[in-house]
Amino acid sequence: MNYPVIKSKNLRPYQICNCCVMDTTDEDIVFDSKGVCMRCNEYKERIEPEWNYGKGHEKELQELISAIKKSGEGKQYDCILGLSGGLDSAYMLHLAVKEWGLRPFVFHIDTGWNLLVAEENIRKVTKKLGVKLHIEKMNWDEMREMQLAWFRTGLEMLDAPQDHAFISVIDKYAQKLGVKYILNGYNVCTEVVADPASWEKGAGPTGDGTYIKDVVKKHCNIPIKDYTYTSGLKHKFAIPYLKGVKTIKPLNLVEFTKESMIKTLADEYGYVPYGQKHFEDLITKFLEGWWQPTRFGHDIRRAQLSSLVVTGQMTRDEALKILEQPSLSEEESKELFSEVAKRLEISEKELMKFHGMPECTEKFKSQEKFYNLGIKVYEKLGIEKRIRK
Ligand SMILES: [Zn+2]
C-alpha cells in the first residue's frame, strides 16, 4: 500500500552517490564533480587513514585497558556499559569482559518496548560472562504517555523518550558510582555514515533535557514524575570535565566486521541477530522499519548500508538490491501497527491520524545553541576530536 509521503521543501533533482547509497532524500547532501557525496570523501580523506579498519591500535588499546583497570583499583567496577541488546553493545561487553578483563557496571533500560528476542540475547550474554545485569525499569504509564506526546508533535524522531532515558541513566551512574570510564559502542565499522540531520528535523540533541521537558510540558496529558532527565551541561561538561569521567569508543581500536561480530556472538552465546540495526525493540522497529519510510520517505537503511559499503563489507549493488525491498513485509507492518496501537492504548484509526499529520512546524525549547557553542569551544581547545562532522 502506498502512503502520501511528506515532501521536503528543498526538493531538488534526484541524485544518488556513485560510491555509497546515500541520496537526495538527505536534503543537505553535497556531491563533488564526480558524483561522490561528502560523507564518502570525508571517510576516505580523514576517517579511514586514522581508523585503518581497527588495525595498528594495539598499543593504544593496551594503554587504555591498563588505565581503566588502574582507575578501578579498590572499587567494585572500573567502567560503565549500557547494554541495549543490540549487536554493538553486546559485542563490546564480550570484548570488555572476556578479552580485556574489565569489570563493567552493566545496565539495561527496560522502557517497556523490549522484544523477547532481545531480552533473551541480553540474558544469554550476561549469564555466560557471569556479569550482574542491572535493569532500570521505566514507569510504563509515563513512557506510554511520552511516546504518545511525541506522536502528537508530528516530528520524525519519535524515539526521543527512550534515547534520552539511556543517556540520563548513564549520567546518573557516572555521577553515582565513581568510575572514570564509560564504554560507548559507537564504531566506524558499522556506523560511519551517520543518520543525516535532515532526517531528524526539529529534535534536540539526544542529551538535551530542555527539549524533552518542553515536549512533555506541551504534549503530555499526565504528570511525568519518575522519568530521569539530563542536560547538555551535565552530559557534555560536568561529567567529563568536572567529574573526569571519560566516554571512550574502544570498538574503533579493534579489527572486526559486522559479520564477524555476529558470528562470535552466535557461536559463543547463541546470540540471535535481529535482521536490521535497532530492531531490538518494538517501537524502534516500527518507527524505523515502517513509520519513517512511509511518512517521510527516508529509509534509515541507506545510512546503515552505506557504512558497510564504504568500509568494504558489502558492494554498492548488494546494498541497492536490499533497498529495493521494504524493511518489513506488508503483513509484518500490519501486525506491528496494531501491536503498537494496542500498547499505546489508542485505536488504529488514531495512530493512522498521526501518520497523516502535516510536517511539524512547532518550535520547541532546546539547548542546541549551547551544544553548538560547546562543540566550537572544545574543537578550538582540541579537547574533543569528533570522528564525523
Ligand atoms: Zn557517498
CA of 38 to the centre of ligand 1 (A): 7
What's the confidence (pLDDT) of residue 3?
76
CA of 299 to the centre of ligand 1 (A): 15
CA of 311 to the centre of ligand 1 (A): 11
Mapping DSSP to helix (H, G, I), strand (E, B) and coil, where does residue 301 land?
Answer: helix
Residue 287's pLDDT band (cuts 50, 70, 90): very high
Q: Which residue has the cell 536534503?
A: 27
Which of 151-160, 195-204, 374-383 is predicted with the least confidence, judged by mean pLDDT? 374-383
Q: Is 25 a residue whose pLDDT tops 80?
A: yes
Task: Specify the CATH number for the domain of residue 82.
Answer: 3.40.50.620
CA atoms of 384 and 176, how far apart (whole Å): 24
Mean pLDDT of 282-298: 95
256 in any annotated domain: yes
- The three-point CA angle 167-173-174 to 5° equals 85
Alpha-helical (H) ranges within 237-367 are 258-269, 282-286, 292-296, 301-310, 316-324, 330-344, 348-355
What's the confidence (pLDDT) of residue 389?
38
CA of 33 to the centre of ligand 1 (A): 13
Residue 10 C-alpha cell reads as: 528543498
Q: Is 99 a residue whose pLDDT tops 60?
A: yes
Q: Is 372 a residue whose pLDDT tops 90?
A: no
CA of 37 to the centre of ligand 1 (A): 4
Expressed as residue numbers, the domain containing 261 is 38-381
Q: Is 88 a residue whose pLDDT tops 80?
A: yes
CA of 49 to the centre of ligand 1 (A): 17
What's the confidence (pLDDT) of residue 384?
55
Residue 10's pLDDT band (cuts 50, 70, 90): low
What's the confidence (pLDDT) of residue 9?
63
CA of 82 to the centre of ligand 1 (A): 31
173: number of CA atoms within 13 Å, CB side? 26
Q: Quick count: other Cβ atoms within 10 Å of Cβ 219?
A: 17
Number of domains in the chain: 1
What's the confidence (pLDDT) of residue 235?
87
Mapping DSSP to helix (H, G, I), strand (E, B) and coil, where does residue 183 land?
Answer: strand
294 in any annotated domain: yes
Residue 113's pLDDT band (cuts 50, 70, 90): very high
CA of 326 to the centre of ligand 1 (A): 21
Please state, in angstroms and as integers, the Cα–Cα distance from residue 267 to each residue in 124, 263, 270, following that order.
Answer: 12, 6, 6
Q: Quick count: other Cβ atoms within 10 Å of Cβ 259?
A: 11
Note residues around ion ligand 1 (Cβ under 5 angstroms).
Answer: 17, 19-20, 22, 37, 40
What's the confidence (pLDDT) of residue 204?
74
Identify whether the C-beta of residue 3 lies closer than 8 Å to the C-beta of residue 294.
yes
Residue 343's pLDDT band (cuts 50, 70, 90): very high
Position 339, amino acid: E
CA atoms of 217 and 213, how far apart (whole Å): 6
- CA dihedral for 97, 241, 138, 367, sign (positive or negative): negative
CA nearest neighbour of 36 among 65, 16, 56: 16
The chain-wide mean pLDDT, for the chain, equals: 93
Please state, in angstroms and as integers, the Cα–Cα distance from residue 312 to each residue in 49, 105, 259, 309, following that order.
Answer: 14, 34, 12, 5
Q: Higher confidence at residue 177 or residue 381?
A: 177
Q: Which residue has the cell 595498528?
A: 56
311 in any annotated domain: yes
What's the confidence (pLDDT) of residue 383?
60
3 in any annotated domain: no
CA atoms of 350 and 357, how far apart (whole Å): 11
Q: Is 77 a residue whose pLDDT tops 80?
A: yes
Position 383, amino acid: I
Mapping DSSP to helix (H, G, I), strand (E, B) and coil, where does residue 281 land?
Answer: strand
CA nearest neighbour of 191 among 280, 102, 304: 304
* CA-atom Rg of the chain in angstroms: 21
Q: Is 376 a residue whose pLDDT tops 90?
A: no
What's the confidence (pLDDT) of residue 388?
44
- DSSP label of 253: G
Identify whether the C-beta of residue 42 lies closer than 8 Å to the C-beta of residue 69.
no
Q: Is 285 a residue whose pLDDT tops 80?
A: yes
Which of 119-128, 236-245, 322-331, 344-353 is predicted with the least confidence, judged by mean pLDDT? 236-245
Residue 373's pLDDT band (cuts 50, 70, 90): confident
- CA dihedral for 370, 375, 376, 377, sign (positive or negative): positive
273 in any annotated domain: yes
CA nearest neighbour of 170 among 239, 238, 82, 246: 82
12 in any annotated domain: no
CA atoms of 178 and 158, how far apart (whole Å): 33
188 in any annotated domain: yes
Name the pTM for this structure. 0.93
What's the confidence (pLDDT) of residue 232?
85
Position 170, amino acid: I
387 in any annotated domain: no
Q: What is the pLDDT of residues 301-323, one digit of tens each?
A: 999 999 999 999 999 999 999 99
CA atoms of 101 and 98, how far apart (whole Å): 6
Residue 129 C-alpha cell reads as: 560472562
What's the confidence (pLDDT) of residue 387?
45
Residue 236's pLDDT band (cuts 50, 70, 90): confident
